[in-house]
Structure 1
Amino acid sequence: MAEAIYPRILHARLRGQLSYRASFLLDCLAQAVAQGGEVVVILVLFNRVTALGGFSVDEVLLVYALASTAFGLSDLFAGQLNALPAYIREGTFDVLLLRPLGTLPQVMVSDLPLKRIGRVFTGLVVLGYALPHNDVVWTPWSVGLLVVTPVAGSVIFSGIWVVACSVCFWLVDGQELANTVTYGSNTFTSYPISVYSGWLRRLMAFVVPGAFVAYYPALALLDKPDPLGGPGWLGWVGPVVAVLVAGLAGLVWKTAVRHYRGTGS
């Protein structure tokens, strides 16, 4: 079956990267340190304030850890979509259309830069700190939520990535616009949405459903009322939102590909 080709492609990519272990480890370390710089920003902020949007420093670190881990996973598997404008300009995308494989999976497995694991590592380290420093009531439900949240968040981020990059089929040089949404969503979700103004909050939290990546799940884990007055059940619907975003992303991608006319048009 055609689907069996994808694991072989990934295996070849991974084997090539692991052939140079010292370089791989240094790249992972660089990614982890760069991601850790955002933690330093949070700690510096809390040298000036005692709370941010109704959240203490440890609560903000929990939000950051969930968002960072989810984005790291998404960047690992969907970050290759940043190469789409080059595929379109150089005609490489035409080659993908000739193969008996899905175009989106082909782009996503075109590379799997393991160095981005460093981003995930930083998120997990901060999560390991934040959990015991917050009053999380541990139940089977909260444990399940903790496990599912980074996965659902990565699906949401990946869906956002697909939708944002699909604009490049119409605007070949639309990568900066796509980056504004994708990497902008990462920055937005790293903080409680209660710190943002009304229009930005509505746009990035619900139109771009960043609030379901970390903010609402963190509230559920902390058993904390939403400072904005949202219902408590919003913390548990992240997987449902992820499925909806994935479905929408697939639809947008198929529509964009159908409108693609190639470099010769």
Structure 2
Amino acid sequence: MLMEVRKSIKLILYYFKFNLSAVMEYRVSFLVQVFGMILNNSAFIFFWWVLFNNVNSIGGYGFKDVMMLWSIMSTSFGVSFLVFGNVGNITKMILNGELDTYLLQPKDALINILCSKTIVSAWGDTLYGVILFIIMNGFHIKSFMLFILFCITGALIFASVLITCHSFSFYAGNLDSLAQLVTEFMISFAIYPEGIFKGAIKYVLYTAIPTVFMVYIPAEVVINFSLIKALEVLAVTVVWIIIAYVAFYKGLKKYESGNLIISKL
């Protein structure tokens, strides 16, 4: 089991280096997209600053607390799409029979699919989140390392939820709109104070759209460290990874080849 995990991490790192070298061939385009995304995200800081100049708190959160949510969510989202760039294309690949080339390779098919592409603008989201965290909280080794850890777990949960949603396309056809809707929900819920959500929505945030474990608990742990809560986040991350793997490989048994020959360099 540990050997398989090690092989998977090695493959992910290989793809990461390859994708990075590929996008850096067009450095001007890369920099424009990255800084464009940073500027786009920065506009929301002004919105929250104006809002908190008129109210003391929202749902028990102050300006700095909301910025913590934004920094974790932005970095998690960015890491998810710069490492697992194909996570949003799984349904399309299933419907078009584009999985064939990955299934013929000896490496893990799911990781091959996810990591074979990167989203350039995701670098902007990632850098924005890191910069925002340092500006708002300073640079302290302990809190920064916790921040990085939870951005990784957040990215893994985010990707796992999307993989699970896309995997239903093996059974029900085109569910790309469902995956996009879930993506929007996860982002939207994660960047607003937890206290504004009540009733049934609260349960959804712990289960189907687990932003509690992606953002809310991590933000709390970074501010006031709790080993138990940190372990809860790690445990939920592992559970979602397992769910994603099971959902994908169970669905893969229903996959019908598109008989397409797609070359991969």
Q: CA RMSD in A?
A: 3.0
* SS in structure 2 of the partner of residue 129 of structure 1: helix
- Closer/same/farther in 2, CA of residues 7 and 157 from structure 1, 3 Å limit: closer
Which amino acid is 2:244 matched to? A
- Closer/same/farther in 2, CA of residues 86 and 124 from structure 1, 3 Å limit: same
Which amino acid is 1:203 matched to? V
* Match of residue 24 from structure 1: 30
The 5 Å alignment of 1:225-236 reads 233-234=228-229, 236=231
* Match of residue 115 from structure 2: 109
User: What is the CA deviation profile of residues 145-172 of structure 1, one whole-angstrom value per residue up to 9, with x for unaligned ones?
Assistant: 3342111111111211211221222333
Contact 1:3–1:101 (Cα < 8 Å) also in 2: no
* SS in structure 1 of the partner of residue 242 of structure 2: helix
* Match of residue 167 from structure 2: 166
Which amino acid is 2:252 matched to? V
Aligned mates of 2:81, 2:233 — CA distance in 1: 19
Contact 1:167–1:178 (Cα < 8 Å) also in 2: no
Which amino acid is 1:251 matched to? V
Kindly state the Cα deviation for residue 5 of structure 1 after the two structures are TM-superposed.
7.0
* Match of residue 199 from structure 1: 200
Aligned mates of 2:8, 2:147 — CA distance in 1: 35
Kindly state the Cα deviation for residue 13 of structure 1 after the two structures are TM-superposed.
3.4
Aligned mates of 2:247, 2:44 — CA distance in 1: 32
Kindly state the Cα deviation for residue 211 of structure 1 after the two structures are TM-superposed.
0.5
Give 2:238's match in structure 1, choosing from 232, 238, 243. Answer: 243
- Closer/same/farther in 2, CA of residues 34 and 233 from structure 1, 3 Å limit: same
Kindly state the Cα deviation for residue 245 of structure 1 after the two structures are TM-superposed.
1.2
User: What is the CA deviation profile of residues 93-136 of structure 1, one whole-angstrom value per residue up to 9, with x for unaligned ones?
Assistant: 2333233332211211221233311101111121112214xxxx
Q: TM-score, length-normalised on structure 1? A: 0.82
Number of corresponding residues:
253
Aligned mates of 1:131, 1:10 — CA distance in 2: 29
Aligned mates of 1:116, 1:2 — CA distance in 2: 22
The 5 Å alignment of 1:88-237 reads 88-132=94-138, 144-223=145-224, 233-234=228-229, 236-237=231-232
Contact 2:78–2:125 (Cα < 8 Å) also in 1: yes
* SS in structure 1 of the partner of residue 156 of structure 2: helix
Aligned mates of 1:141, 1:55 — CA distance in 2: 23
Contact 1:163–1:253 (Cα < 8 Å) also in 2: yes
- Closer/same/farther in 2, CA of residues 71 and 2 from structure 1, 3 Å limit: closer
Give 2:248's match in structure 1, choosing from 230, 253, 257. Answer: 253
Contact 2:166–2:179 (Cα < 8 Å) also in 1: yes
Kindly state the Cα deviation for residue 185 of structure 1 after the two structures are TM-superposed.
0.6
Gaps of 5+ in 2: 1-6, 260-265
Give 1:85's match in structure 2, choosing from 68, 81, 91. Answer: 91
Contact 1:80–1:108 (Cα < 8 Å) also in 2: yes
Kindly state the Cα deviation for residue 43 of structure 1 after the two structures are TM-superposed.
2.6
Which amino acid is 1:259 matched to? K
Which amino acid is 2:103 matched to? L
Aligned mates of 2:9, 2:212 — CA distance in 1: 33
Kindly state the Cα deviation for residue 220 of structure 1 after the two structures are TM-superposed.
2.7
Contact 1:14–1:114 (Cα < 8 Å) also in 2: no
Which amino acid is 1:16 matched to? A
Which amino acid is 2:169 matched to? C
Which amino acid is 1:88 matched to? I
- Closer/same/farther in 2, CA of residues 61 and 244 from structure 1, 3 Å limit: same
The 5 Å alignment of 1:18-97 reads 18-97=24-103
Aligned mates of 2:143, 2:21 — CA distance in 1: 37
Aligned mates of 1:44, 1:78 — CA distance in 2: 35
Kindly state the Cα deviation for residue 77 of structure 1 after the two structures are TM-superposed.
1.9
* Identity in percent: 22
